A and B are shown apart, each in its own frame.
Chain A
Amino acid sequence: MKDKETKLEFKAVNKLFHNFFVGRIGKSSILSRILTYVILAGLGFVFIYPLIYMISTSFMDSKDLVDSTVTWIPTHLSLESFIKAARTLEVWNGIRDSLIVTVLPAMLQTMVLSCAGYGLGRFPVPFKKLWIALSVLIFLIPAQVTMIPRFLLFNSYKMIGTIWPVYLISILGQGIKSSIFLLVYYNFFSTYPRALDEAARIDGAGRFKVFIKIALPMAKPAIVVCFLFSFIWIWNDTTQIPQYSTGAVTTLPMHLQQFVDRFNKLYSSAAVSTGGALNESIRLAGTLLTILPLIILYLILQKQFVESIEKTGITGE
């Protein structure tokens, strides 16, 4: 009797161990699941550490910053840094300028590249392989190489100092990393079933109508990827836009780039001597304000951002 009990007990313990280290059939072991969580949590912490640090520090006032007993949680929520940073950055002007050079160009680029991808993917375009090879090559050649001649080109058309270079680049589909989008569209249009197109053609729809009414609605994930990434990459661009459009627009990241100068201009040395000097809290509040529009956009559209990449088949079939 007793022997049987210990045997049963042993079996139960054995099962527990088995579940823990090896896992039931079709399920991973508890150990490996715990490990997964631990590694992901660790890496995730490293990923968002700067964000947490930024948020916590920007709410501190100058006393908390110096006080070594205050590490993460500020003694009281102070908006002082945010007010100073917002005044320094001229947030509203920055956002307005950023939107001017971002929204419409991103849309134009999305449209033009969807057309180009459709042309490449669905029609027997002459030199098709050459165009594809060239678009890959453009991606590989660093953007800074073409920046100077582009500047001279726009200069000769008296476009420097206006917003037109940014628009022109987008309307011709040559924006930042635009080759990726072209290849995404090409891949998408060359793999989706052609039967629908052909049916519409037989019903008498023209090629352009087929593109607008049938191909585009189907390519929604590719369009979403192209628009969102164009948007964030143009928004975050601080090498090309300042070269071409300084004077006409100063985007929010450009304001952040000039943060120290702007701060010193705004707050005179008198204020600095009374403890109003530029400190980490104000700088991080400025950084946080700069990325806040993007984070809000991301929180709203986070599903589209990630899932549409998976749907577009960016990895090739």
Chain B
Amino acid sequence: MSKSQNEAVKLKKSKFKMTNRRRDAIAGLLFLLPWIIGFFAITCYPLIYSILISFNQVAIKPGVIELEPIGLEYFRQALFVDAEFPTKLLLSLISVVIGTPLVVVFALIIAVLLNRKFRGRTIFRMIFFIPVIIMSGPVMTELLTETSAMNINFNIFGVTDILQELNNFWANMLLTFLGSFVRILWFTGVQMIIFLAALQKIDQNMYEAASIDGATAWEMFWKITLPYIRPIIMLNSIYTIVEMGTFADDATNIKIVNSIRDIARPYSYAAAMSWIYGLCLLIMIIIVFLIFTDWKEIRRTRNERQRNQAGIQSGK
């Protein structure tokens, strides 16, 4: 085979590959198309539009909606004039801030316990997952506020009495925690399953090696399990923040939904409030992200990559 022929074959091959690749890209785009259209039409456009109307006065004329720039007025009204919104916002945010770590910790405890081999774990797993299926705004409202189905009496050993008598900051905190204990636990279902799936993927040999070296189960949890599932903890924390923040029985959400058709300031006031709440939640998510990102690990891999590149260059 002559050299030129060889090159021609190569060229033909590379050309074929290119078109094939391009065809693949087009096919992929076609598969993705409905989602992309949906994203731009009913997610991205509404998102931008909602920023726009939060800075505008909306006037509904027959057939058209007129916008009149009003600046930050609605944000100011929501934060400083409205009698209800700031307190409701603060309450929602506090419940998310306190709720998230509790949800994640309880989900982890349950997952670690369920991960052990014992009889009846499927039944327990089934019980712990029930709330995910049935949780909706109205059901929560009925169980939590309209009836006493969710108020467990923890006063078996007179605990609540003692706490009420103490009446200091921590005692009150503990009392409110006990009061919303069931609600917090009911948010753990999905996170527990995610933890369980992650725990089952940890290499059992590591535990075996550690136990031969004389590590106790407690030590192994802190030294092996926890570092391994650190990214999953971040994932679950973010999921919990989103889940709790957007839940339908949340006071702020109810306030936002109720003021959509506010007569004096339709749509835009609710949009401004939803952005304030949304930004607060986003800040929380960013904080969680910063806490759980393993900066040491990132630095190490970056250094290694640089070293490898340097090695390749010097090797050449």
Contacts and interface: CB of A to CB of B under 8 A. Distances in A.
Contact of B28 (A112, A119, A135): A119
Interface string B220-233: 00000000000110
B139 interface: yes
Contact of A239 (B109, B181, B182, B257): B257
A105 interface: no
Interface stretch (B69-77, B125-133, B305-313): B125-133
A262 interface: no
Q: Is the interface of A mostly helix, strand, loop or mixed?
A: helix
A160 to B, nearest CB: 12
Nearest to B26: A123
Contacts of B182: 46-47, 49-50
A151 B46 CA distance: 9
Interface in B97-131: 106, 109-110, 113-114, 116, 118, 124-131
A138 interface: yes
Contacts of B148: 53, 280
A298 B275 CA distance: 36
Given A294-B134, A297-B133, 9 more contacts: A57-B149, A112-B38, A123-B28, A124-B25, A126-B29, A140-B285, A211-B31, A298-B129, A309-B197
A291 B129 CA distance: 14
Interface stretch (A8-16, A73-81, A142-150): A142-150
11 contacts: A32-B217, A43-B110, A43-B128, A43-B185, A47-B128, A138-B39, A141-B47, A146-B43, A287-B139, A309-B194, A313-B197
Interface string A272-296: 0000000010011011001100110
Interface in B260-302: 260, 267, 270-271, 274-275, 277-278, 281-282, 285
Nearest to A122: B28
A236 interface: yes
B114 A134 contact: no
A147 B43 CA distance: 9
A294 B131 CA distance: 11
Contacts of A135: 39
B213 to A, nearest CB: 14
Interface string A109-123: 000110110111011
Contacts of B126: 302, 306
A146 B35 contact: no
Contact of B149 (A37, A53, A316): A53
A36 interface: yes
Contact of A315 (B35, B109, B198): B198
B282 A310 contact: no
Interface in B122-177: 124-139, 141-143, 146-150, 152
Contact of B267 (A57, A140, A152, A256): A152
A257 interface: yes
A52 to B, nearest CB: 9
Contacts of B45: 149, 153
B79 interface: no
Contact of B124 (A44, A118, A149, A253): A44
A51 B36 CA distance: 42
A44 B128 contact: yes
B237 interface: no
A99 interface: no
Given A124-B25, A149-B49, A144 B34 contact: no
Interface stretch (B3-11, B83-91, B242-250): B242-250
A125 interface: yes
Contacts of A43: 106, 109-110, 128, 185
A238 B114 CA distance: 33
A195 interface: no
A139 interface: yes
Contacts of B44: 134
Contacts of A257: 137-138, 141
A66 interface: no
Given A119-B32, A253-B137, A144 B257 contact: yes
Given A36-B118, A148-B260, A125 B185 contact: no
Contacts of A144: 246, 253, 256-257, 274, 277-278
A191 to B, nearest CB: 13
